[in-house]
Structure 1
């Protein structure tokens, strides 16, 4: 058990160091030697857990989904779940270097061997499922194409977080995401249902 715990601690240290370097300088700018130095581990320890820098990047790409509560989509799929996901992602981008590195790697997907477009697809698919549930209960205008809307929401969030990063270092990201929802909700939700949704995330009183 002690050996297993040490191995897990080493893996975590490598991921933290890789996330720090990828977040700071991107995939191409980060070298394995810098990651090893920051993690304080040997090359052999790194290769025990990861085959290459690309393998490290692939592992980190999945970190963006760590902000999700998987049960939320199963227990209460709907529009508020998508709003809450965007709020949690905004918070993750502010506080978690692994999430920031993951998002940067996805945006720079042409920089390494395995493209990360599947991450976009996963977000779109999850949002699509929740939007279909919202449409079935009358919380989403029936004339809307739920898949097209899911793509719009993912693209909008991506653009908002990028502009927030450039302009304020993401300091205003939660407010920008809430404004996105305040603007979109009247266009996608029937007027009689608008009171149900909280643009900043959470449940309506």
Structure 2
């Protein structure tokens, strides 16, 4: 048990060190030697847990999905679930270096290779499923395609968080995320249903 706990602590230290290095320098600007130094481990320890820099990057990209369980609304995910999930991601992007590194890795590697699409498609599909259920309840306009709306949300917030990083170091990300929802909700939700939803996030998400 002690050996297992030590191994888990080492793996966590490697992920944290890699996250700090990737967050600062990106995938192509970071070497395994940089990660070993940042994590305070030996190269042998790193290779015991991760076979390559690519494997480390994939583990950090996956962190955004491990860390963010969609917020369930009494077992009925819908529009507020999507709002809350985006706000939760905004908070974690500011507070959690692993999530920041994962987001940067996706953007860095996509700009270089153009093929890192799974994180986007996973978020789009998650939101599409929530919006399909919401549409069945009358919370999404009947003439909208939930898949296209989900893609718009993911694309809008991806651009928003990047501009927030450049303009304020993400200090205004929560506020800008709320503004995004204030602008989008009237286009997505029938007017009679708008008052049901909180663009700033629900009490459940903020708890």
Match in the other structure for 1:35: 35
Corresponding residue number in structure 1 for 2:3: 3
Is the contact made by 2:110 and 2:117 (CA closer than 8 Å) also made in structure 1? no
In the aligned structure 2, how far is the partner of 1:94 from the partner of 1:189?
29
Instruction: Give the alignment's Cα RMSD to 1 decimal.
Output: 1.9
Distance 1:170 1:109, change over 3 A: same
CA distance in 2, matches of 1:178, 1:38: 35
* 1:20-99 pair list within 5 angstroms: 20-70=20-70, 72=72, 75-99=75-99
Shift of 1:108: 1.5
1:145-197 CA distance string (max 9 Å, x none):
10000000000000000000000000000000100000111111111100100
User: Where do 5+ consecutive residues of structure 1 fail to align?
Assistant: none
Matched position secondary structure for 1:192: helix
Unaligned runs of 5+ in 2: none
CA distance in structure 2 between the partners assigned to 1:173 and 1:70 by the alignment = 19
Displacement, 1:110? 3.9
How far residue 125 of structure 1 moved from its aligned partner, in angstroms, is 0.4
Task: Output the TM-score relative to the length of structure 2.
Answer: 0.93
Instruction: Output the TM-score relative to the length of structure 1.
Output: 0.94
